[in-house]
Amino acid sequence: MTQNIILCDDHALLRNGIKSWIETHSPYKVTHGAGTWAECEKIIDSIAATTATIKPQANEALTPEEQNGCIASIAIVDISFKAEYTTAGYEENCGFEIIRRLTALGIPCIAYSSHDSGGFVEHATSAVVGAKGFVSKNADETILLAAINAVANGKSYIQAELVTGLLEVRDIAQTFTKKEKRVAEELTIYNTNAEVAAALGITEKTVVNYLTIMYDKAGVKNKLEFLQKMGRL
């Protein structure tokens, strides 16, 4: 059975190159490509309409037979996908949101990005986002194909060279207390400490105290470095 692939990348030249390589070197077909947020939403809406009649339970993976009746069975998504608008309100790294929405519809995703530090791998493959694989854009195309084969067969795949960085970030995250984790989850490049405090119902001084401790644990000096380290930028 030929499996169809969704490819979401806002760089047209790279997107077309990946499509050509995959279809030349494997039985897979890239049947849907998206270079804008609107194109991604159109694909997601089409899948939602199709899967609603196939498997009404949300967040339940489709079987191979059900995937054959869907428009695609695997998605490759650039996590640094940029968009003019997203439901999350951010302009960059919208690939996380695309992966989350496709995963919720039962479509397994592979994160494919030049942002390949441990933090980005950890966040992309976390339960919150849900990617089943992660491959660096700096890797050989055969690595991407290996990831596609693994995910297509219900397995997970993390490029070997990225595992050390992933484990380092996971070790750091495990040192955070529950309250520190809440602060980390709320923190973005766009909001202020006061806004984080208001969202969590604590004082700004308390947020600053937590951040000081978290920066020390992560081995960074400021918010920007922390977000980069933890893959949240």
Burial classification of residue 216, based on how many CB atoms lie within 10 Å of its CB (0-12 exposed, 13-18 middle, 19 or more buried): exposed
Determine the angle formed by the axes of helices 141-152 and 12-25, rounding to 10 degrees: 70
Distance CA 27, CA 18 (A): 14
Collapse the DSSP code of 73 into the 3-class scheme (helix H, G, I; strand E, B; otherwise coil) and give the result: coil
Whether residue 73 contacts residue 4, with contact meaning beta carbons closer than 8 Å, is answered with yes
> How far is 219 from 129, CA to CA, in rounded Å?
25
**What's the rounded Cα separation, in Å, for the pair 63 and 41?**
23
How does pLDDT run across 123-177, given as a tens digit for each residue?
A: 999 998 999 999 999 999 999 999 999 999 999 999 999 999 999 999 999 999 9
Handedness of CA 193, 195, 199, 204 (dihedral sign): positive
Q: How many helices (H) and strands (E) does the chain have?
A: 11, 6
For 128, phi then psi, to 5°, come to -70, -40
pLDDT, tens only, 223-232:
999 998 998 7
What does the pLDDT read at residue 68? 45
Q: For 169-178, write each residue's pLDDT tens digit.
A: 999 999 999 9
Q: What is the pLDDT of residues 84-109, one digit of tens each?
A: 554 445 455 689 999 999 999 999 99
pLDDT at 161: 96
Answer whether residue 17 shows pLDDT above 90. yes
Q: Whole-model pTM? A: 0.80
Give me the pLDDT at residue 60, please.
55
Q: What angle separates helix 204-218 from helix 193-200, to the nearest 10 degrees?
A: 110
Interatomic CA distance for residues 72 and 106, integer angstroms: 10
Mean pLDDT of all residues belonging to the chain? 87
Residue 207: band (very low, low, confident or very high) from pLDDT cuts 50, 70, 90: very high
- Side-chain-facing half-sphere of 163: CA atoms under 13 Å: 6
Burial class for 98, CB neighbours closer than 10 Å (0-12, 13-18, 19+): buried
Contact between 116 and 138 (Cβ < 8 Å): yes
18-72 pLDDT per residue, tens: 999 999 999 999 999 999 888 999 999 998 987 655 554 545 555 544 444 455 6
Instruction: For the chain, list the domains and their CATH numbers.
Output: 4-165 (3.40.50.2300), 175-229 (1.10.10.10)
- Two tokens at 177? 């207390």
Residue 210 near residue 218, CB atoms below 8 Å: no
